[in-house]
Amino acid sequence: MPRHRRGWAMESEGRGRGRHSPLAVSLLEPALLVLLNDQARHGYPLLADLEKMGMGTIHPSVVYRTLRDMEELEWIQSTWDGDETQGPPRRVYRLTERGEEVLKHWREEMKSIRELLSELISRTDNV
């Protein structure tokens, strides 16, 4: 049996259910940028919105690590929201100007990849 990363698509009978594909993980950055472009958010609502998008199988630790990486790249910034009446302060993530530019590049990349995906899907219609 192939190792997990290469064999994820070969799982059958529910064994692979709930796992995310490497393709989904590669779309995490643009998904987060899109969500933060809509509005600033705390981490928990980001996780919920990713799940609504169909990316709910990605572990929260992967999402938070990606947010930290994006902050180091200055694509996003976070501030502490101390105005919460319940619980400890939480980080609020916002898109930066640099992040807006990165999102534009991601958009163009996704448009070109959409054509490739369409081609691959059409070639597997008879599978």
Along the chain (127 residues), what's the average pLDDT of each consecutive run of 10 residues? 51 55 89 97 94 89 96 97 75 97 97 93 90
Q: What is residue 127's predicted lDDT score, i.e. its pLDDT?
A: 80
Tokens of 76: 């996003």
Q: What is residue 1's predicted lDDT score, i.e. its pLDDT?
A: 35
Q: What is residue 7's predicted lDDT score, i.e. its pLDDT?
A: 56
Beta pairing partners, 46:
none
Q: What is residue 12's predicted lDDT score, i.e. its pLDDT?
A: 53
Element (H, E) at 67: helix 60-72
Q: What is residue 89's predicted lDDT score, i.e. its pLDDT?
A: 83
Which residue shows structure tokens 């059409």?
122
Q: What is residue 69's predicted lDDT score, i.e. its pLDDT?
A: 97
HSE (CB half, 13 Å, CA atoms) of 34? 11
SS3 of the chain: helix, strand, coil, percent, to 5: 60, 10, 30
